Structure 1
Amino acid sequence: MRIVVTGSIATDHLMTFPGRFTDQLIKDRLERVSLSFLADRLEVHRGGIAANITFGLGLLGLSPVLVGAAGVDFAEYETWLREHGVDTSAVRISDRLHTARFVCTTDEDQNQIATFYAGAMAEASRIDLASVAARLDGPSLVLVGADDPTAMLRHTDTARRLGMAVAADPSQQLARLDREQARRLIEGAQWLFTNEYEASLLMERTGWTERYLLDQVGTWVTTLGAEGVSLALSGTPRLHVPAVPTTGVADPTGAGDAFRAGFLAGIAWQWPHERAAQLGCALATTVLESVGTQEYKLLATDLIARVAQAYGQEAARAVEPRLAEVS
């Protein structure tokens, strides 16, 4: 299965605040907030939802195709992605704008406050997914991730017109979507990805109940942080997959993207959804234990050990043949 991932390409500026955001908030003054948090650490890393997901898929040997818009400063980042198995030939390079920026501050409770500057991402709607698909001789799956909203809608419509399976992952862009746009992005998707908060926001945006929304998609995958992952399919009992235990959280940024990479790899290998989610959880924990979204390394022995610890030896034996190929 050839996987195309559309969405943001960005540089992450990650800061750490040695306190709690909530301690600085005054309940009856929230209508006029003016706060400054003195961070004690700054890390600058490569990021962006689509780039993060394709990076993970590349490490797993899937040769994913990255579709997004980057800026005049993308050359070094592009080399990095190619070296890690990502096909960047479908990336649009702006001749005037810089690559998007994600600026995020994390407090000691792992709460986050972030700002995203779109930059070159504003040109993503100029990418023709049909041309990309024709060059690839028809990819099997297109994940439509957070991007310029016009691009997200265009890619979704194109993928459906061409008969390609769609994984809808509106993520942070849900807040910018109106009712018609939100419905258009997810209706008919074979997979739908949200976190727990986004799941509630999605129902608010679409105006649909959970039951009705489940009737519009294939499998709804909801990440629950330390509680693991929920898999829901219309007419069947909800499946819960626990998280893989961690020895210590270094930085939560990118864990959800890593989960998606692992899950989609399992789907590409035709694993049952539960097994694919277990691999996704193992990758998510690996990212949690490193700072930055693409600074981790994958070792087959480590991944197999994580799966064995969380889900037992039978699960470990099931994933071992494929993961043995990961270097």
Structure 2
Amino acid sequence: MTQPRYDVVAIGNAIVDVLAPATDAFITENGMTKGQMQLIFSPDDADALYAKMGAGQVISGGSAANTVAGMARLGSACAFIGQVADDELGDAFAHDIRAGDIRFDVAARPGQPTTGRCLVLVTPDGQRTMNTFLGASHFLPAEALDRALIADAAYLYIEGYLWDPEEPRAAMRAAIAVAKEAGRKVAFTTSAEFVIDRHRADFLRLIDDGQVDVIFANEAELVALTEATDVEAAIARLAPKVETLVVTLAEKGALAVAGGTRVTVPAEPVAAVVDTTGAGDLFAAGFLHGRTHGLDLERSLRLGAICAAEVIGHVGARPVADLKALAAQVLG
């Protein structure tokens, strides 16, 4: 097996985040569940909610895209596969990800729907409530995959959020097959409980068939996936089936189980929680960078915690501080 040129190639939603402050009352009045993500299926509904929002910031986002953005800032070689439309937001997304030294070659899709967007409402406690119109990202075809690129990466990283629509689901299945044939590893983030509820059988089948090497989930997602009675039962059920299971524990830190070894690290201290958007994405960035650069489980978890702490200290799901410098202060 040849040495891979890339550390990670990620497949995910290519979307742009619009972040604005909001009150708890606004969340309730508009029928949302605080801290959760819901899909918006109509562009008219997305426009209506956007009109109600206060002044905010426009920042490129998307779960897997955020992860490779963090990895690239740490020094990993990364590429991203996702679908944008031939419009202003699509141009912004493509510019941002390429400016982050991440390879992005998928051609923009002409016509409707528009590039996906996530309307993120941030309450004073830093919690984010996301309302996502996936738009063009729903139409990523298998033909858009660069199979040589996927085979040339140590890890293929895929997000559960993109499993819903049929076309990108087929693309991700094809990508997994390419990665496995090339002897590469597949990492998968479960994304959200509502995604698991819709696709639990599919996800478990992938795991049982040995198609997933690394799983990222928070406590609630892990319990939902396994339908276990609690987190410990869920870990006992799932850990033996994958090479590495990574579970984020919010303010309690994170744990990983690999080859019968279990390691737990505390959360990194944060001066103030400003916006939790992207915390899990950046945790995965730190962990995967660690694993692709020879760090053990504990140091990889610590690097994930460092990256997560950085991103929740400001608005937006992409890092703004020098992650290499932050990592050096803790890891040496």
1:14 is matched with 19
Which structure exhibits the higher relative contact order, with contacts defined as CA atoms closer than 8 Å and separated by 6 or more residues?
Answer: 2
User: How far is 1:270 from its partner?
Assistant: 1.3
Contact 1:258 / 1:287 at 8 angstroms: preserved in 2? yes
Within a 5 Å distance, the mapping from 1:253-268 to structure 2 comes to 253-268=277-292
Task: Give the gaps of 5 or more residues in structure 2.
Answer: 32-48
1:166 is matched with 186
Is structure 2 residue 245 aligned with structure 1 residue 225?
no
1:147 is matched with 162
2:37 is matched with none
The correspondence for 2:314, drawn from 286, 290, 294, is 290
CA distances 1:84-136 after superposition (whole Å, capped 9, x unpaired)? 110002x242112322111122323344432211111111243454xx23256
- Name the amino acid aligned to 1:64: C
2:327 is matched with 303
Is structure 2 residue 147 aligned with structure 1 residue 133?
yes
1:321 is matched with none
User: Could you tell me the TM-score, scaled by structure 1's length?
Assistant: 0.79
Residues 152 and 21 of structure 1: CA distance in aligned 2, closer, same or farther (over 3 Å) = farther
Cα distance in 2 between the residues matched to 1:136 and 1:185: 18
The correspondence for 1:71, drawn from 68, 81, 85, is 85
Contact 2:291 / 2:297 at 8 angstroms: preserved in 1? yes
Residues 214 and 15 of structure 1: CA distance in aligned 2, closer, same or farther (over 3 Å) = same
Is structure 2 residue 216 aligned with structure 1 residue 193?
yes
Contact 2:128 / 2:276 at 8 angstroms: preserved in 1? no
The correspondence for 1:156, drawn from 168, 171, 176, is 176
Cα distance in 1 between the residues matched to 2:242 and 2:313: 33
Is structure 2 residue 108 aligned with structure 1 residue 56?
no
Q: Which stretch has the larger CA shift, 146-155 or 288-297?
A: 146-155
RMSD value over aligned CA atoms? Answer: 2.9
Residues 40 and 135 of structure 1: CA distance in aligned 2, closer, same or farther (over 3 Å) = closer
Within a 5 Å distance, the mapping from 1:16-31 to structure 2 comes to 16-19=21-24
Contact 1:100 / 1:118 at 8 angstroms: preserved in 2? yes
Cα distance in 1 between the residues matched to 2:154 and 2:66: 20
User: How far is 1:60 from its partner?
Assistant: 1.8
Cα distance in 1 between the residues matched to 2:260 and 2:116: 41
User: How far is 1:24 from its partner?
Assistant: 7.2
Residues 232 and 23 of structure 1: CA distance in aligned 2, closer, same or farther (over 3 Å) = same
Residues 17 and 102 of structure 1: CA distance in aligned 2, closer, same or farther (over 3 Å) = same
Cα distance in 2 between the residues matched to 1:83 and 1:23: 38
Task: Give the gaps of 5 or more residues in structure 1.
Answer: 27-35, 308-315, 318-327
Secondary structure at the counterpart of residue 250 of structure 1: coil
- Name the amino acid aligned to 1:94: R
Contact 1:55 / 1:86 at 8 angstroms: preserved in 2? yes
- Name the amino acid aligned to 1:200: V
User: How far is 1:138 from its partner?
Assistant: 2.6
Secondary structure at the counterpart of residue 171 of structure 1: coil
Contact 2:255 / 2:301 at 8 angstroms: preserved in 1? no
CA distances 1:71-95 after superposition (whole Å, capped 9, x unpaired)? 1122232122212110002x24211
Within a 5 Å distance, the mapping from 1:230-249 to structure 2 comes to 230-233=255-258, 235-236=260-261, 238-249=262-273
- Name the amino acid aligned to 2:56: L
Secondary structure at the counterpart of residue 211 of structure 1: helix
Residues 5 and 54 of structure 1: CA distance in aligned 2, closer, same or farther (over 3 Å) = same
User: Could you tell me the TM-score, scaled by structure 2's length?
Assistant: 0.78
1:32 is matched with none
Cα distance in 1 between the residues matched to 2:85 and 2:197: 23
Contact 1:192 / 1:219 at 8 angstroms: preserved in 2? yes
Within a 5 Å distance, the mapping from 1:62-101 to structure 2 comes to 62-73=76-87, 74-89=90-105, 91-96=106-111, 97-101=113-117
> Identical aligned pairs, as a percentage?
27
Secondary structure at the counterpart of residue 143 of structure 1: strand
CA distances 1:189-208 after superposition (whole Å, capped 9, x unpaired)? 22100112211111139xx9
Contact 1:61 / 1:85 at 8 angstroms: preserved in 2? no
User: How far is 1:171 from its partner?
Assistant: 0.9
How many residue pairs align between the two structures? 293
Cα distance in 1 between the residues matched to 2:281 and 2:83: 18
